[in-house]
Amino acid sequence: MKTQMLFLLILSFVLPVQAADHAEELWQKLKTDFENKPQFFNHTVNDFRDGITSPFMNKYDNPANNARPLTARQLVKLPDAEFLDLAIFKLALTGRERLLKAGKIKNHPLLAVVDFSKKSNFRRLYVFDIQKAEVLFNTWTSHAANSDTDNDGFADSFSNVAGSETSSVGFMASDVTYSGNYGYSLRFKGLDPKLNSNIFARAMVMHGFGGLDANQASGGSVGTSAGCWMISYNDSGRFWGLEDRPMLELVIDTLKKGSLIFTYTDEVAKDGSDLIFQSTWIKKTDVPAVEEEEEEKEEEPREEVGSAVPYQDNFDPNKEVVSHRPTEILNARIK
C-alpha cells in the first residue's frame, strides 16, 4: 500500500512536468512552422495583391477591389504577424487535455486560439493542426462592441449573459454550419459553465464581415460585433498562399464540427482574480513560470491608434460603414 501511495505521489508531480514539456516542445515546432511561412508576414502582403478582383466578390453588391495592393503608408501602420505567447498556448493545450479526459471533446487534431489580449488590428485568431505541428491560419477576428465601450480596439469586458452584446471567453467547441442573415456561419457550444455556457442560445457564431482585413487593420482597429467572431469575406486565401476563396469560408470549412477553440483574455474579474481562470479546465498554477515574470514586469501602455469601427448584428446592409478616417469608405456590406 505504501509503495502504491508513493507511486501515485510521484506520478502527480511527474505528469504536470511531462505535460508542460510537451506543450513547450509542440509550441516551438508550431512557432518554427509559423516563422517559415513568409505569407504570414507583412513583407509578402502585396505579393499576390495584383489588382485583379477575386471572382467570388461578384456575389456581393458593389464589390470593392479586394486585390488592391496596400500603400507604403498602410504597410507601415499594419502590425506585423506575431506568434501566440507560450503561456496562452500552454493554457489552451492543458485545457484540451483535461476536456479529453473528462470526455467533453473528441481527440480532434485542430485547435484554434483567439487572443483577446491583443488589439483588434492584430491577427488574433490562430488555427493549429497539433498532430502535424502546422499553423493553418493567422488572421483577424472581431470582438463585441460592448466589450470595447471606449472604442480603443481592446476587448476589456466579457459576459455570459444573453442580450449583453459582449464577447465570451474560455473553451468552446465548433458545432454545425448554416447559412443565415450574414451568410455562411458556424455555431459553437460553450464548455465553460461560468464563462460561455449560453453562447449557443445567444447565437454567438462565426460569420462574415466586409472588413477585418489588412486594409482595415492598417487604420488602427477593425469592426466590432454583437458578440460573434467575424471573419473577412473580402480577404482572399490567395493573398496568404491559399485558395482564391473568402477567408471566412476557408476558416469555417477547416474548423467545422468538433474543433476546440480557446478564447483568451488577460482581463481581471470583478473579484480581482484573472477572469480566464474562472474556466473549469485551467488553473493559474498551470503556468507558474509566467506568473513570476508578470509580477516583475510593468504593464506597458496600450497603443491607441484610431478607434474601432462599430458594428451590430442589426447592421443595415444597404449602408456603408465609414472608418474613423473620413476619407476612406470600408466595404462592409453584409449578405
Query: For residue range 186-234, what is the model confidence (pLDDT) as tens digits?
Result: 999 999 999 999 999 999 999 999 889 999 999 988 889 999 999 999 9
Task: Determine the pLDDT at residue 20.
Answer: 61
Encode pLDDT of 112-151 as tens digits.
Answer: 999 999 999 999 999 999 999 999 999 999 999 999 999 9
> Which residue's C-alpha cell is 449557443?
200
Phi, psi of 55 (to 5 degrees): -55, -30
Encode pLDDT of 162-187 as tens digits.
Answer: 999 999 999 999 999 999 989 999 99
Q: For the residues 43-72, what does the mean pLDDT come to? A: 90
Q: Give CA–CA dist 305/219, Å, rounded.
A: 8
Cβ atoms of 264 and 88 within 8 Å: the answer is yes
Q: What is the DSSP string of 63-83?
A: ---TTPPPPHHHHHHSPPP-P
Strand extents, DSSP E, the chain = 110-115, 125-129, 134-139, 170-180, 183-190, 206-209, 229-232, 260-264, 321-322, 329-330
Task: Determine the pLDDT at residue 327.
Answer: 25
Average confidence score pLDDT of the chain: 84
List alpha helices for 181-312, DSSP H: 214-217, 247-255, 288-296
Q: Give CA–CA dist 76/59, Å, rounded.
A: 32
In the β-sheet with 206-209, what is the strand arrangement from edge to edge? 134-139, 125-129, 110-115, 260-264, 170-180, 183-190, 206-209, 229-232
Cβ atoms of 217 and 153 within 8 Å: the answer is no
Q: Is the pLDDT of residue 322 over 50?
A: no
Q: Give CA–CA dist 238/39, Å, rounded.
A: 10
Q: For the residues 309-315, what does the mean pLDDT come to? A: 35
Q: Give CA–CA dist 168/264, Å, rounded.
A: 9
Within 8 A by CB and 6+ apart from 131, the residues are 109
Q: Give CA–CA dist 131/8, Å, rounded.
A: 29
Q: Give CA–CA dist 241/148, Å, rounded.
A: 32
Within 8 A by CB and 6+ apart from 201, the residues are 162
| Residue 279 DSSP code | S
List alpha helices for the chain, DSSP H: 2-35, 72-77, 86-101, 214-217, 247-255, 288-296
Domains of the chain, first to last: 2-330 (2.40.440.10)
| Residue 126 DSSP code | E
